[in-house]
Amino acid sequence: MAKLLLTILWGFVALNNYVTSYREITSPDMVGPIWGPGSSCRRQLQFLEGGYGTDIIQPPELRGEWVSTRCEVRSGPEFITRKYKFNSDMSFVLLQFYYTDHQCQLPSYSVRIRGYLQLGATSFAVPGATIAQYELERMSLIAFKVESADHLRVKLNATCLSQIGASSKFQPNERIHILNLAHDHRLIDCASDIGLTVHELQLIRQQARSEFLQDEARTIVWEELLLGNVHSNLTLRKTYRPETFQTPLRRYSENDKDCAICHAVRRGTETDPPILPSRQGLAPAPLHGEWASLTCEVGSSYFITRHLMFMGNDTWETHYHFYKDPLCRTPVYALSMKGTHTPPLSSKLVDGATNVDFTLIAASLTPQHKDMVRTLNAISKSECGGKAIWKLGRTNDVIQNGGCASLVGLLVVKQHDLIRIEEDSMNGLVLYTGILPTDGTLKDSEAKRPTAYQEPLLHCEGPDPRTASLVTDMDNNGNSVLLKLSAFFISIVFSFVL
């Protein structure tokens, strides 16, 4: 609901076609004392706010190979790696590898998809993105285990099974053609029954990235391909058109020294899927310290930087900054929240993940764009006897009971979230938080607890959750896990409005 509200607010702002080179830096009351002048979290966020290190390539130039940089998690959960190749005639071959574990070490089945892509106009709804259409030619899959084959077979109806050619053929390591629309063949179109679609090709953003590595005194450059998101509800994936993006793919280069996983994924084939190296995860996640966005993140209809803090006494605090442009240069509003949380518990549903519930106690909002001020004042006038209380750059408490700025009826008091902390070979210690339901609702019930993650946040300040009162142990699978000694550690949140 709150997300909906702010999306509407934002939509309002976006539709007002203002001319702007305006930028107001504000420091809401809640922000000041925590982000000290030398804070490395603050420096990291300022870097993102300038749009440094990212150039959007438009129109996209997709020719080449693109690979996953990690074991990606989709709602379900599904664990997947991707290897996509686009040719100069815009034909493509997409390879998707599905796994049963969160480390992407136990392949379940692979999917090979051939077709053509046609780039269209730039997107009005998602700044920086290009709309595209695709046409599929063939899709086949290979299951690697009897259980995987059985799992896929039961999703097909009798017509599809007979078209595909007798259910007995659905065996491990056999290639099954589940879609064939090439002219010289009989028609088979059973991919979406299995939940396989490539609507992600309908929304595309390509960007050049660069980063200066202080320690090694060198600049690294790479290219990313962001494709459309998939719906968090599996049954709605068939028809969903993407409105935001999923985890970026990285342009494959033989000389890329910074992405070992890229090379592993590139070597994968339809019959021989990539096996990714183990990552050290901390489970249940001992939430502690401060965490900040690694990029100007793409939401649906806004762009955002996040800064999350765990105080170590069951309290959390977050600062979100919303922007109207894909390089996070034009702020629209800032939102700060704090509250308490439950002790982290290992998730039974998502391998390697932690369940945490966040309760909201305080929230404040700072409009940073004149159109946002106008929109908020329209609300306060109607709710509060004609009073326009919002001013540019001025922070108001939005929780306070009876306050004219109150949006309390729209905020969810308790969020059911999914958290993971892990050691990422490219970025260091990162924290993942759960994605929001794609239908625009919030994580406000156990049933809506996410099964996939948003983009990771980097540990930037404060206690390192790996040290001190943590011990390493082995779980039943031999995976190294960290056990927490005290219930002292706990955690965070934020997507109260996201």
Ligand X SMILES: *[C@@H]1O[C@H](CO)[C@@H](O)[C@H](O)[C@H]1NC(C)=O
Chain contacts with ligand X (rule: CB under 6 A):
157, 159-160, 189-190, 192-193, 233, 235-236, 311, 313, 315
DSSP single-letter state for residue 434: B
Distance CA 357, CA 342 (A): 5
- Of residues 261, 310, 236, the one with CA closest to residue 494: 310
Q: Pick the closer one to ligand X by CB: 315 or 400.
A: 315
Q: Pick the closer one to ligand X by CB: 284 or 450.
A: 450
To the nearest whole angstrom, how small is the minimum distance from the Cβ of residue 371 to ligand X?
34
Instruction: Report which residue type is found at 39.
Output: S
Burial of residue 213, with CB atoms counted within 10 A of its CB: 0-12 exposed, 13-18 middle, 19 or more buried: exposed
- Kindly tell me the sign of the dihedral angle through the C-alpha atoms of 395, 401, 404, 406: positive
To the nearest whole angstrom, how small is the minimum distance from the Cβ of residue 442 to ligand X?
13
To the nearest whole angstrom, how small is the minimum distance from the Cβ of residue 341 to ligand X?
12
Distance CA 433, CA 453 (A): 5
- Contact call for residues 261 and 215 (beta carbons, < 8 A): no
Q: Pick the closer one to ligand X by CB: 14 or 490.
A: 490
Q: Pick the closer one to ligand X by CB: 146 or 236.
A: 236
- Of residues 350, 330, 323, the one with CA closest to residue 418: 350
Cα separations in angstroms, 357 against 288, 315, 347, 466 = 15, 11, 12, 22
Instruction: Report which residue type is found at 251.
Output: R
- Contact call for residues 288 and 489 (beta carbons, < 8 A): yes
What SS3 state is found at 219?
strand
Q: Pick the closer one to ligand X by CB: 173 or 313.
A: 313
- Contact call for residues 251 and 64 (beta carbons, < 8 A): yes
Spatial CB neighbours of 378, under 8 Å, sequence gap ≥ 6: none
To the nearest whole angstrom, how small is the minimum distance from the Cβ of residue 365 to ligand X?
21
To the nearest whole angstrom, how small is the minimum distance from the Cβ of residue 235 to ligand X?
5
Q: Pick the closer one to ligand X by CB: 91 or 163.
A: 163
Cα separations in angstroms, 8 against 4, 300, 302, 320, 469 = 6, 11, 11, 17, 45
Q: Pick the closer one to ligand X by CB: 189 or 444.
A: 189
To the nearest whole angstrom, how small is the minimum distance from the Cβ of residue 234 to ligand X?
7
To the nearest whole angstrom, how small is the minimum distance from the Cβ of residue 312 to ligand X?
7
To the nearest whole angstrom, how small is the minimum distance from the Cβ of residue 110 to ligand X?
21
Instruction: Find the helix packing angle between 370-383 and 2-15, rounded to 10°.
Output: 130
To the nearest whole angstrom, how small is the minimum distance from the Cβ of residue 191 to ligand X?
8
Tokens of 208: 């050049």
Q: Pick the closer one to ligand X by CB: 189 or 258.
A: 189
To the nearest whole angstrom, how small is the minimum distance from the Cβ of residue 192 to ligand X?
6
Q: Pick the closer one to ligand X by CB: 11 or 76.
A: 76
CA 428 to chain centre: 18
Burial of residue 57, with CB atoms counted within 10 A of its CB: 0-12 exposed, 13-18 middle, 19 or more buried: middle
Q: Pick the closer one to ligand X by CB: 29 or 61.
A: 29
- Contact call for residues 199 and 246 (beta carbons, < 8 A): no
